[in-house]
Amino acid sequence: MNWTKSMRTTVTEKLTWDNLLPSEQPIYVSSLVYSFGVFTLSSLVFTIMSGVIMAAYGPTWYQYSAAGAFFRSVHFWSVQAFFFFMTMHLVGQFFMGSWREGRAMTWVLGALSFGVSVITAFTGYLSRGDFFAQWNQVQSKDAFNGAGLDGFLNILNNGQVYGLHIAVLPLILIVLVGWHMVAVRAKGVVPPYQAAHVQKKEGEKR
Amino acid sequence: MTRKAHFERNTLRFPQKDFDMVKEGIVSLGIVGVAVVIVAAIFGAPYRPAITNQEIANQKPILVMQTAMGDLDGQGEMAAYGPPYNNGWHGVAQNIQSIGPFSPQTWWGTPYHLYTPNADVITPLTMLATASNNTALQAAIQTYNAASYTQQQAWDNNFTNALNKATVQNGQVVVPSGQYGPVQLMMNDELALAKSGLLSGALDRETNNGVYRWNIQNDLLFLQGPALHQYAKTIDMRGEQWGINHDEQAYPGPWWLTPYTFLYQVPPGSTSPSGDEIVAYTIAVLFGLLVLLPFIPGLNKLPRVLPVHRAIWRDWYKRLETTNACASCPLATSCNKEFHGPMTAAADHEIPACYDQTTSVGKGSHFVSQDSGIQPHA
């Protein structure tokens, strides 16, 4: 098997402009539910942008300056929006059974993104540098130790926690979210129930 | 299905309508951006300054001495904690969690080693004695280190008991006279070090091998007992108060941890000494179910029988209805059920032909977009 050729074929078939940026959608795309995904992504953009600014100036800046406090607030509310829309998106996609018709990997990638987001947000809480960070650190150490994660993570080591929060976990999240979006675009949004059966029958005919 | 078909955007065979994805993205960014900035400007974000050992020393000096004594004599929680910090006090650990023989906490040994007598008392006091050229303290430490374990425990026990009767006068801890050996002087100096604000630095220096101050492990572990718990209780942050799940009053906290926090409110999470391990692995299993939902028989069919998707795609179903798609359908009954009745999902073998734009029944008439006039991509 020629990996180069295989990869090129996959990319040229999946990542066409027509797939990535379609200028039309099936007419059944007509519900507020469809906007939760793009709102989730928008919130993530503001989370990352405010986070990059905070990381650039450093932890003391966002604790002890007015501008820092403002960006900390933007970061805080972006995260709240991100989780709100992501939860709505997840619930909506569940009720649509959006893993149908070869879209299982899209769901898996989305669910994994949710899990990584929770861990990323948690390390963010530990990076606040205030009482809540202290308290969550000492409280959660028992959980991380009891679960056997102590070999990988010293939750009381701010260097490790901060590094995970601003670099490692966001990188994983961006890859997962990007892959999820490509999967959504490559397959198109899931058709309504029942109509899908027709599609199945059609596929068999080919 | 061919390989090509597998990659194809197969929704193209439905009637299409114009859609501006770039505009949608920009508008969404605008709405979220404006909303977030306005809310952030008005409400800010919760922030409660960190607690320091210095504050505790000034407000509750006896508590600092009790904590230091627990670390010195092995009675304290962290002295006997077990992995990943130590192997307990003289081999007896108090906090190793396990579900039967399954105890992942012990898998990695003690990578963040903490020997509390040295880390929290002897080393900081030695640093203080050196820095201040305090010969009395140096002598006290030498006396304590040279004494037998039995002798050390006797002094420790006497002073720990005396602390139960201690009073605070002018910021100093006053205890009844007794046989404390060098321990009373050591504890007075430990308190003085904490009050000066330098104890945290000494503790962090221990964790960081004397270099950068990233790792605040020992500082937090010194604070973590009654000191932080008493404070946390006053603002409803303890575990049984759904602690981590909420933030300061009037601010939303990490509500996305609700399923995890909930498990701590009910047995065995709320009662078992291995509650953390049980909760963590329960959540891991539940998350696994969520991720693998498409492959779980029954669960992956659940949204089909729940009527919510009919509300989400109501325009589509209504459209089929208004175009009278069911009228000429050979499976009119099940087709109608799909639009109207409760819990009426058709069985797998029933495929209403009225949905099928490729058959003679549906083709060309019902499934051409009325809005855009765009023909379906067959």
Q: Which tens digit of pLDDT belongs to each residue from B48-78?
A: 998 999 999 999 999 999 999 999 999 999 9
**Which residue from A134, A151, A198 is facing B50, i.e. has the nearest CB?**
A134
Q: Is residue A65 within 8 angstroms of chain B, CB to CB?
A: no
Nearest CA-CA distance, residue B365 and chain A, Å: 15
State whether A150 and B369 contact (CB < 8 Å): no
Which pLDDT does position B334 carry in this prediction? 62
| Contact across the interface for B104 and A18, Cβ inside 8 Å | no
Of the spans A141-150, B180-189, B308-317, which averages the highest pLDDT?
A: B180-189
Q: For residue B286, name the pLDDT band (cuts at 50, 70, 90).
A: very high
CB contact under 8 A, A151 and B97: no
Check CB contact under 8 Å for B31 and A42: yes
Residues of chain B positioned with their CB less than 8 A from the CB of A135: 228, 232, 237, 243
pLDDT at residue B140 is higher than 50:
yes
In the stretch 154-183 of chain A, residues with CB closer than 8 A to chain B read 154, 156-160, 162
Q: What is the pLDDT of residue B330?
A: 61
The answer to whether B55 faces chain A, any CB pair under 8 Å, is no
Cβ distance B14 to A191 less than 8 Å, yes or no, reads yes
Report the pLDDT averaged over residues A98-105. 91
CB of B13 less than 8 A from some CB of A:
yes
pLDDT of residue B318: 82
Q: Do B220 and A28 touch (CB under 8 A)?
A: no
Of A69, A99, A115, the CB nearest to B294: A99
Nearest to A129 among B50, B291, B338 (CB): B50
A-chain residues within 8 Å CB-CB of B103? 148
| Contact at CB, B84 and A154, closer than 8 angstroms | yes
**Over the stretch B211-261, which tens digit does the pLDDT of each residue have?**
656 778 888 888 888 888 888 888 777 777 777 777 777 889 899 999 998
Determine the Cα–Cα distance for residues A121 and B81; give it in Å rounded to an integer.
28
For an interface test with A, give the residue of B85, B105, B246, B356 to mutate (most A CBs within 10 A): B105
pLDDT at B212: 59
* ipTM surpasses 0.85: yes
Residues 77-116 of A with CB under 8 A from B: 77-78, 80-81, 83, 87, 92, 94-97, 99, 101-104, 107-108, 111-112, 114-115
pLDDT at res. B371 = 36
Position B132 pLDDT exceeds 50: yes
Confidence of residue B348 (pLDDT cuts 50, 70, 90): low
Contact B217 A154 (CB under 8 A): yes
Task: Please state whether the peptide bond connecting residue B84 to the residue before it is cis, i.e. omega within 30 degrees of 0.
Answer: yes
pLDDT, one tens digit per residue, over B187-210 is 999 999 999 999 998 898 888 776
Is B149 within 8 Å of chain A by CB?
no
Q: Any chain B CB within 8 A of the CB of A28?
A: yes
List, for residues A31-42, the tens digit of each pLDDT value: 889 999 999 999
- Of B11, B51, B312, which is closest to A96 when you measure between CB atoms? B312
Of chain B residues 238-297, which have a CB less than 8 A from chain A? Answer: 239, 243-244, 247-248, 252, 254-257, 274-277, 279-281, 287, 290-295
What HEC string does chain B produce? Answer: CCHHHHHCCHHHHCCEEECCHHHHHHHHHHHHHHHHHHHHHHHCCCCCCCCCHHHHHHHCHHHHHHHHHHHHHCCCCCCCCCCCCCCCECCECCCCCCECCECHHHCCCCCCCCCHHHHHHHHHHHHHHHHHCCHHHHHHHHHHHHCCHHHHHHHHHHHHHHHCCCEEECCEEECCCCCCCCHHHHHHHHHHHHHHCCHHHHHHHHHCCCCCCCECHHHHHHHCCHHHHHHHHHCCCCHHHCHHHCCCCCCCCCHHHHHHHHHCCCCCCCCCCCHHHHHHHHHHHHHHHHHCHHHCCCHHHHHHHCCHHHHHCHHHHHHHHHCCCCCCCCCHHHHHHHHCCCCCCCCCCCCCHHHCCCCCCCCCCCCCCCCCCCCCCC
In total, the C-beta contacts within 8 angstroms joining chain A to chain B are 316
Predicted local distance difference test score (pLDDT) of residue B250 = 81
Band of pLDDT at residue A193, cut at 50, 70 and 90: confident
Q: Read off the pLDDT of each residue in B69-97 and give the average, rounded to a whole number.
A: 93
Instruction: Say whether B216 and A140 touch across the interface (CB within 8 A).
Output: no
**B366: pLDDT confidence band, cut at 50, 70 and 90?**
very low
pLDDT at site B369: 35
pLDDT(B171) > 50:
yes
On the question of pLDDT at B122 being above 70, the answer is yes
Residue B242's pLDDT is 77
**Predicted local confidence at residue A35, as pLDDT:** 94
Residues of chain A above pLDDT 70, percent: 94
Q: How close does chain A come to B175, measured CA to CA in Å?
A: 31
| pLDDT score of B29 more than 80 | yes
Q: Lowest mean pLDDT of A1-15, B115-129, B214-228, B338-352, name the range.
A: B338-352
What distance in Å separates residue B327's CA from the closest CA in chain A?
17
CA B269 → CA A50, B120, B239, B281, distances in Å? 36, 31, 11, 11
d(CA B206, CA B227): 21
